[in-house]
């Protein structure tokens, strides 16, 4: 198995969440299999997630955002874990991408409705948790991962982009079920997939 450079982003602001546990399991699996791993927890990062003037005025990037960009450039494989809140990612995670996903970093417009994808050659894994059954959520709301999967990662050139959703955790998140989910995520980490 080819060793990869894996960058893990815990997109849940709470470091004591089940998402954090899953990030640690993925990290443990990847490191144990010999992959080189870097990790950032969004809850530890210090940055303003708001674009106060949209994109018409450039906001200087804080050190944690510059570190995030460096980790994205460095990695072969990007892993983001987050909860689905109101059928989308947490606001802080969206704010992170609003701030860092800039021309010259993730893409460049080339004119005539085309662009250059500056993250080509990288793969991504999305691990999403929710209190809703993923199939039921999809039937009612459609693909709630599209914003990050297509609008952000695919737009920058990531391929393949794999996702794993774990739902109904609040009501049926028994210890045995959570242990099975942790094993699945650990094994994804070993494969860096």
CATH number of the CATH domain containing 74: 3.40.50.360
Walk across the sheet containing 5-10 and list its strands: 36-41, 5-10, 77-83, 123-129, 161-166
135 pLDDT higher than 60: no
Using CA atoms, how far residue 88 sits from 41, 61, 132, in Å, is: 18, 24, 12
DSSP codes, 17-34:
SHHHHHHHHHHHHHHHTT
pLDDT digits (tens, 9 = 90+) for 6-40: 999 999 999 999 999 999 999 999 999 999 999 99
d(CA 62, CA 144): 29
d(CA 155, CA 111): 15
d(CA 158, CA 154): 5
Confidence bin at 146 (pLDDT 50/70/90): confident
pLDDT digits (tens, 9 = 90+) for 57-86: 889 999 999 999 999 999 999 999 999 988
The pTM assigned to this predicted structure is: 0.93
d(CA 119, CA 76): 9
Six token digits for residue 162: 């794999």
Is the distance from CB of 137 to CB of 130 less than 8 angstroms?
Answer: yes
pLDDT for 145 equals 83
Using CA atoms, how far residue 34 sits from 23, 38, 70, 182, in Å, is: 17, 13, 21, 19
Choice among 15-19, 128-132, 170-174 with the minimum mean pLDDT = 170-174
d(CA 17, CA 24): 11
Percent of the chain whose pLDDT exceeds 70? 92
- Give the DSSP H/E element, type plus range, for residue 52: strand 52-55
Give me the number of domains the chain comprises.
1
132 alpha-carbon distance from chain centroid = 19
Domain with 9 in it:
5-191
Is the distance from CB of 33 to CB of 191 less than 8 angstroms?
Answer: yes
* Sequence-ordered list of residues with C-beta below 8 angstroms from that of 162, at least 6 positions apart, any chain: 123, 124, 125, 126, 193
């Amino acid at each position: 198995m080819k060793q990869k450079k894996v960058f893990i982003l815990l997109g849940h602001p709470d470091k004591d969440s089940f998402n954090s546990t899953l990030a640690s399991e993925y990290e443990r699996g990847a490191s144990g299999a010999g992959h080189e791993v870097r990790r950032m927890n969004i809850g530890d990062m210090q940055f303003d997630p708001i674009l106060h003037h949209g994109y018409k005025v450039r906001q200087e990037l804080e050190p944690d955002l510059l570190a995030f960009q460096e980790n994205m450039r460095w990695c072969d494989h990007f892993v983001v874990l987050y909860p689905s809140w109101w059928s989308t990612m947490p606001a802080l995670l969206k704010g992170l991408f609003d701030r860092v996903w800039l021309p010259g970093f993730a893409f460049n417009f080339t004119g005539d409705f085309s662009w250059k994808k500056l993250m080509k050659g990288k793969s991504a894994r999305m691990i999403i948790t929710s209190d809703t059954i993923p199939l039921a959520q999809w039937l009612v709301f459609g693909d709630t991962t599209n914003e990050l999967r297509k609008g952000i990662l695919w737009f920058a050139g990531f391929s393949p982009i794999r996702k794993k959703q774990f739902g109904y955790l609040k009501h049926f998140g028994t210890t045995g079920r959570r242990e099975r989910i942790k094993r699945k995520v650990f094994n994804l980490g070993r494969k860096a997939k």
